[in-house]
């Protein structure tokens, strides 16, 4: 029977895995103290509570302002793997928000996280990769990762990791980092690693690897390396892949790689023209755009021009097409027009 | 329970309350405690009395007066004499365990009344729970919708970013292609220009070389003969035989000539000595004989030089000894003329000197010769 009096006992803890959070604005300071406690259980429970709280950006801001990040950094080096897992999860959730990314950059968390790249627990590593992936969604984050020199370890990890999910996450991170600055990656043989991944069974990995190669070959050095390591025949092979986005990314990579003369001739030797022409009829707009551009590059070489002169009508048809989004339509038309002009160029 | 008059209730204290002793209350069974309490009270009382004595009291009455206690309250009280007190003590056995007091449960009074809430009488759960549930579920769904919309928004943003990136990539590719083209053209131009420049340069160089060569040839054509001429002039081209003669033969010749000259000098000196001796002798003889003869001198003069020349001739052949000199002294003009022809200009000058030297001795010699002829 219920008593009319208040019980002297503490209220019942419904969720024993989590610590009870204080009410209102006392929650975070109290959690911060508990994070520093000596007792392992307390720390773990506090981390779980923190995980839940971090979904709210205002909480993240508050946590930052009271200095929770430093505690989290310390906890990253904890000996207990559960603590580390949870800490990385908290950091991953933090990184999904812009405030959290700002916190990452302010408190130098990227470096602290990088020590866990070789962690034994796979869950911990997964969270780590996810955190990085979220971080590089903004250019500043990508620059941070590059400036801390994490590209070479990530490339190395790409080779070493067995889990495909991890590879995908790392590839995602690399794709966005390579867009910013490819020089460091090139010096760590990223092209070779990506070449291997192009032949992987998993379609996501293939597609992401092709995307990464696309970003690599934007820079001149990248183009040269792509030609040097004979990646172009593989890319041409990928053009016949059953999956659409793999094809489109492969076409994009070819588009950039064929800007230099070696690339052009390598692509022509690998019979790239026919798959690219097929790709022009693909349902994905980006695939068509990339294919058009790649064919434009190839048409600059005399041999390519000869072959493509037959297909000028296809391009002319593309010129007058319309698309729902005006920019895309305009882009397609422009690309087609340029292609035609290049093919019909007489010196 | 019997209801009584409060006035006659034994429990109610009546009368003077000042002098009454506060006995042990009914609920106090412990005798020891009671004793202790009493003692404590006594002690307190004693302490109070002691303090009272110390406390300043009212001063003693003045002469002829007496202090009297007077009640000054509104309602006077009868102060009776001291009441007869008797101390009574009662004590239970100290070590006897007393059983616990039975729980005092007051007798049940009143009427028992009961009430029961049947299903559906108070409220209809289903009806009532609906709004609560609605609120709960509504809030949850709202929250989740918000989250989902956020994610969707993010996904949309990302998708549009991707699209933009694709467009940008294609534009970038175009830019790079144009750049590349530009670069190629430029390089081609540079190469051609360079080639052209090289050709022109070579052309210039060749023409310069030809001009230089022609000029050099013309210049040097003159050079050779002039060089040879100057060399010849400086005597670098010599006839070896001539050279040889000049270097080898002529010094030797000169040496020999010198030697010969020396010999002739020596001979001449000797001859001079001889002649001098002879002349001195003859002079001496002549001086002795002067008194006797005076012969014509000028006739001897042609013979004199002749004789002198003969003597000289004799000196030419130094191998021929002094005896020959003497013999040849007497030779005729014929010999004298041949010797004249044979002499070089150098000898001639020398001989002219000796001639002059011996002119003095001529006369003496001629005379002596004459004397000899005559004798």
Which pLDDT tens digit goes with each residue over B96-135? 677 888 888 888 888 888 888 777 677 788 888 899 999 9
Give me the CATH topology for the region A27-137.
1.25.10
Q: What is the DSSP string of A44-90?
A: HHHHHHHHHHTTSHHHHHHHHHHTHHHHHHHHHT-S-HHHHHHHHHH
B269 touches chain A (CB under 8 A): no
Cβ distance A201 to A236 under 8 Å?
no
Q: Which of A52, A99, A210, A255 to mutate to test the interface with B (most CBs of B within 10 A)?
A: A255
Pairs of residues, one from chain A and one from chain B, whose beta carbons lie less than 8 Å apart: 53
* Chain A residues within 8 Å of chain B (Cβ atoms): 55, 137, 214, 218, 252, 255-256, 259-261, 285-286, 289-290, 292-294, 296-297, 300, 325, 327-328, 331, 335, 338
State the nearest Cα–Cα gap between B164 and chain A, in angstroms. Answer: 9
Contact A328 B170 (CB under 8 A): no
What pLDDT, on a 0 to 100 scale, did the predictor assign at position B304? 46
CA distances from B319 to A35, B273, B307, B315, B351 (A): 150, 18, 20, 9, 19
State the nearest Cα–Cα gap between B83 and chain A, in angstroms. Answer: 53
State the nearest Cα–Cα gap between B132 and chain A, in angstroms. Answer: 21
Contact B173 A256 (CB under 8 A): yes
Q: Is the pTM of this model over 0.95?
A: no
Flag whether pLDDT at A330 surpasses 70.
yes
Token look-up 């006739």 returns B299
pLDDT in tens, B46-89: 998 888 777 777 777 788 888 887 878 888 877 777 788 889 98
Identify which of B279, B285, B281 has the alpha carbon closest to the alpha carbon of residue B304. B279
Average pLDDT over residues B261-279: 90
Which chain B residues have a beta carbon less than 8 Å from that of A137? 158
Q: Using DSSP, state whether A207 is helix, strand or coil.
A: helix
Cβ distance A332 to A306 under 8 Å?
no
Cβ distance A218 to A182 under 8 Å?
yes
Residue A97: band (very low, low, confident or very high) from pLDDT cuts 50, 70, 90? confident
Q: How far apart are CA B294 and CA B302, in angstroms?
A: 19
Contact A289 B170 (CB under 8 A): yes
User: What's the mean pLDDT when you consider all of chain B?
Assistant: 77
State the nearest Cα–Cα gap between B157 and chain A, in angstroms. Answer: 11
Residue B42: band (very low, low, confident or very high) from pLDDT cuts 50, 70, 90? very high
Which chain B residues have a beta carbon less than 8 Å from that of A335? 170, 174
Contact B177 A256 (CB under 8 A): no
B170 touches chain A (CB under 8 A): yes
Contact A296 B177 (CB under 8 A): yes
Lowest mean pLDDT of B66-75, B138-147, B186-195, name the range. B66-75
Nearest by CB to B166, which of A286, A296, A338?
A: A286
Flag whether pLDDT at B197 surpasses 60.
yes
A161 vs B349, which has greater pLDDT?
A161
User: What's the mean pLDDT when you consider all of chain A?
Assistant: 85
Residue B299: band (very low, low, confident or very high) from pLDDT cuts 50, 70, 90? very low
B176 touches chain A (CB under 8 A): yes
Which chain B residues have a beta carbon less than 8 Å from that of A172? none
Which chain A residues have a beta carbon less than 8 Å from that of B160? none
Which chain A residues have a beta carbon less than 8 Å from that of B147? 55
Q: How far apart are CA A78 and CA A39, in angstroms?
A: 12
Domain map of chain A by residue range? 27-137
Average pLDDT over residues A35-40: 87
Average pLDDT over residues B164-189: 86
ipTM confidence: 0.74
Average pLDDT over residues B311-333: 48
A110 vs B333, which has greater pLDDT?
A110
Query: Quick one: what percent of chain A has pLDDT higher than 70?
Result: 99
Which chain A residues have a beta carbon less than 8 Å from that of B174? 293, 296, 335, 338
Q: Indicate the Cα dihedral angle A325, A327, A329, A330, nearest 10°.
A: 160
Q: What is the DSSP string of B83-120?
A: PP---------TTPPPPPPPP--PPP-S------PPTT
pLDDT in tens, A3-16: 667 777 777 777 77
What pLDDT, on a 0 to 100 scale, did the predictor assign at position B346? 53
Which chain B residues have a beta carbon less than 8 Å from that of A327? 167
Contact A290 B169 (CB under 8 A): yes
């Amino acid at each position: 029977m219920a008593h009319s009096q208040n019980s002297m006992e503490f209220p019942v803890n419904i969720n024993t895995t989590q610590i009870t959070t204080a009410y209102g604005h006392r929650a975070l300071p109290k959690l911060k103290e508990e994070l520093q406690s000596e007792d392992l259980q307390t720390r773990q429970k506090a981390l779980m509570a923190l995980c839940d709280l971090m979904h709210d950006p205002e909480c993240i801001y508050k946590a930052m302002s009271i200095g929770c990040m430093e505690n989290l950094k310390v906890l990253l080096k904890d000996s207990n793997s559960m603590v580390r897992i949870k800490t990385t999860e908290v950091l991953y959730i933090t990184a999904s928000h812009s405030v959290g990314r700002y916190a990452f950059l302010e408190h130098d968390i990227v470096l602290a996280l990088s020590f866990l790249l070789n962690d034994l627990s796979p869950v911990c590593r997964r969270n780590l990769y996810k955190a990085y992936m979220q971080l590089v969604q903004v250019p500043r984050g990508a620059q941070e990762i590059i400036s801390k020199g994490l590209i070479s370890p990530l490339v190395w990890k790409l080779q070493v990791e067995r889990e495909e999910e991890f590879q995908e996450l790392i590839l995602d991170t690399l794709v966005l980092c390579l867009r910013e600055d490819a020089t460091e990656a090139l010096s760590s043989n990223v092209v070779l690693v990506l070449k291997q991944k192009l032949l992987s069974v998993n379609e996501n990995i293939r597609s992401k690897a092709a995307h990464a190669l696309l970003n690599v070959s934007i820079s001149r050095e990248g183009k040269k390396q792509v030609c040097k390591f004979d990646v172009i025949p593989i890319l041409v092979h990928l053009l016949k892949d059953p999956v659409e986005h793999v094809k489109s990314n492969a076409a994009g990579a070819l588009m950039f790689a064929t800007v230099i003369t070696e690339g052009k001739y390598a692509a022509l030797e690998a019979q790239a023209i026919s798959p690219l022409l097929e790709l022009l009829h693909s349902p994905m707009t980006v695939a068509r755009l990339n294919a058009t551009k790649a064919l434009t590059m190839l048409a600059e070489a005399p041999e390519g021009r000869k072959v493509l002169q037959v297909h000028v009508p296809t391009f002319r048809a593309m010129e007058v097409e319309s698309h729902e989004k005006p920019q895309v339509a305009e882009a397609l038309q422009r690309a087609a027009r340029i292609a035609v002009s290049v093919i019909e160029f007489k010196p | 329970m019997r209801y009584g008059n409060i006035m006659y209730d034994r429990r109610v204290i009546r009368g003077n309350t000042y002098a009454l002793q506060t006995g042990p209350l009914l609920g106090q069974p412990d005798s020891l405690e009671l004793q202790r309490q009493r003692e404590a009270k006594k002690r307190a009382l004693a302490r109070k009395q002691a303090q009272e004595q110390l406390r300043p009291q009212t001063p003693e009455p003045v002469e002829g007066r007496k202090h009297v206690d007077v009640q000054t309250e509104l309602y006077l009280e009868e102060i009776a004499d001291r009441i007869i007190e008797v101390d009574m003590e009662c004590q239970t056995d100290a070590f006897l365990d007393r059983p616990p007091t039975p729980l005092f449960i007051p007798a049940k009074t009143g009427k028992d009344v009961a009430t029961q809430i049947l299903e559906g009488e108070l409220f209809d759960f289903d009806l009532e729970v609906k709004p609560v549930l609605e609120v709960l579920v509504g809030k949850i769904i709202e929250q989740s919708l918000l989250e989902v919309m956020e994610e969707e928004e993010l996904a949309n943003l990302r998708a549009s970013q991707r699209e933009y990136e694709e467009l940008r990539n294609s534009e970038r590719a175009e830019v790079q292609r144009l750049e590349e083209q530009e670069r190629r053209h430029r390089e081609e131009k540079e190469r051609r220009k360079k080639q052209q420049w090289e050709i022109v340069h070579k052309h210039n160089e060749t023409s310069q070389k030809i001009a230089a060569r022609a000029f050099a040839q013309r210049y040097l054509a003159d050079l050779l003969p002039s060089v040879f001429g100057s060399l010849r002039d400086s005597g670098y081209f010599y006839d070896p035989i001539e050279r040889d003669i000049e270097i080898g033969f002529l010094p030797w010749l000169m040496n020999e000539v010198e030697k010969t000259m020396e010999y002739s000098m020596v001979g001449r000196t000797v001859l001079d000595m001889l002649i001098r001796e002879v002349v001195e002798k003859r002079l001496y003889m002549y001086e002795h004989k002067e008194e006797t003869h005076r012969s014509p001198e000028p006739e001897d003069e042609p013979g004199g030089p002749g004789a002198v020349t003969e003597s000289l001739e004799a000196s030419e052949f130094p191998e021929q000894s002094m005896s020959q000199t003497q013999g040849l002294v007497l030779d005729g003009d014929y010999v004298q003329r041949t010797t004249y022809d044979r002499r070089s200009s150098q000898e001639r000058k020398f001989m002219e000197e000796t001639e002059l030297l011996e002119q003095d001795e001529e006369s003496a010699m001629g005379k002596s010769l004459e004397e000899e002829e005559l004798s």
